[in-house]
Structure 1
Amino acid sequence: MSSTPKPTSSAQTSGAARLLQRQLKEMSTAKDLPGISVGLLNENNVFVWEVVLMINDDCKYYGGAYFRAHLTFPPEYPHLPPKLVFQAPVPFHPNIYASGELCISILHPPEDDKYGYETAAERWSPVQTPETILLSVISLFSEPNDESPANLDAAKLLRQDRAGESKEFRRRVRKCVRESLGED
């Protein structure tokens, strides 16, 4: 499958916009999505959502936090994945680049992984929805993936923390959590 972008038709864009409006409405009124809040960053653009993830105290991410992110959808949605970028303070996490961009398999393009790490089945599929993406992100805070890190320092410190060799990962995460709560 080629990764070259295809021209986008206005019909495709309007179809994506209608789908996103419906999905946003469903998520905004859902009562079974604790810890997730969504809305439009700009009410004139349904392709960019503002997301707040409330990570609870029971999470292995060492305490409750509020992380803001932007979920940006391409005009080719749902055939191509959106991008999720955390806003400051960016969580210290093995699967989040310093820029705030999330690295998770389900947001990788629907093609074979040229490095052979992921199967096509693990990557983006049009059956994914904003809801399934955000639930996966919350799950990633409970179980970070240090096997394919976006943040090498965080992955290394997490491994040392798990092995009982260091508490630096935990210390850095707690600092990040305090910042997210406006305590630092």
Structure 2
Amino acid sequence: TELQKNPVDGFSAGLVDENNIYKWEVLIIGPVDSLYEGGYFKAHLTFPEEYPQRPPKLKFISEMWHPNVGKDGFVCISILHEPGDDKFGYEKAAERWLPVHTVETIMVSTISMLCDPNDESPANVDAAKQFREDKHKFKKQVARCVRLSQEQL
């Protein structure tokens, strides 16, 4: 309701099924001046029953080539990681899920991720390697995903 009253640039969101408030469909618009510009990427945001104590999961339904999106489509960013300390010591607890996060903060973080991939902690090792070692090939892969997303609107 809040998002409908005050829409946020860069994405739109709504329920997949009116009878299930836990599963949302999100349309993420490729950010201007990013490799994803011009794309319209569909994703599902699935909330656990323990929300907001536990984070939702964000999964791209559209094909996505990005170091921080697994081959299974799941987005891997700090604020979607379970709350508390990181057992690997990579993230501080304050960078992980906190109950104050909203759909808006999740989506703004995701859009930021599209603009600025983190190849230091990849969910897709192949995309991260290509991002580091062969930018031209990486850009071609992303351009293909952008075209596909436009065709699937």
Q: TM-score, normalised by structure 2?
A: 0.94
1:72 to 38, 46, 50: 46
Q: Does 1:179 align with 2:152?
A: no
Q: Does 1:100 align with 2:73?
A: yes
Match of 1:135 in 2: 108
Q: In structure 2, how many angstroms separate the alpha carbons of the residues matched to 1:147 and 1:76? A: 30
Count of aligned pairs between the two proteins: 152
1:168 to 116, 137, 147: 137
Where structure 1 has 5 or more consecutive residues not aligned to the other structure, the ranges are 1-24
Match of 2:15 in 1: 40
Task: Sort the Cα spacing of 1:94 and 1:79 in 2 relative to 1 into closer, same or farther, 3 A.
Answer: same
> Whose RCO is larger (CA < 8 A, sep 6+)?
2
Cα pair 2:13 2:27 within 8 Å, conserved: yes
Task: Sort the Cα spacing of 1:46 and 1:36 in 2 relative to 1 into closer, same or farther, 3 A.
Answer: same
Match of 2:25 in 1: 50
- Residue deviations 1:90-138, cap 9 Å, x none? 2100000111101010000002111111111110000100110001100
- Residue deviations 1:46-78, cap 9 Å, x none? 11111000113422x253100000100011100
Question: Runs of 4 or more off by more than 4 Å in structure 1?
Answer: none
Where structure 2 has 5 or more consecutive residues not aligned to the other structure, the ranges are none
Match of 1:28 in 2: 4
Q: In structure 1, how many angstroms separate the alpha carbons of the residues matched to 2:113 and 2:54? A: 21
Match of 1:6 in 2: none
Q: TM-score, normalised by structure 1?
A: 0.79
Cα pair 2:14 2:25 within 8 Å, conserved: yes
2:92 to 115, 119, 141: 119
How large is the Cα RMSD of the aligned pairs? 1.3
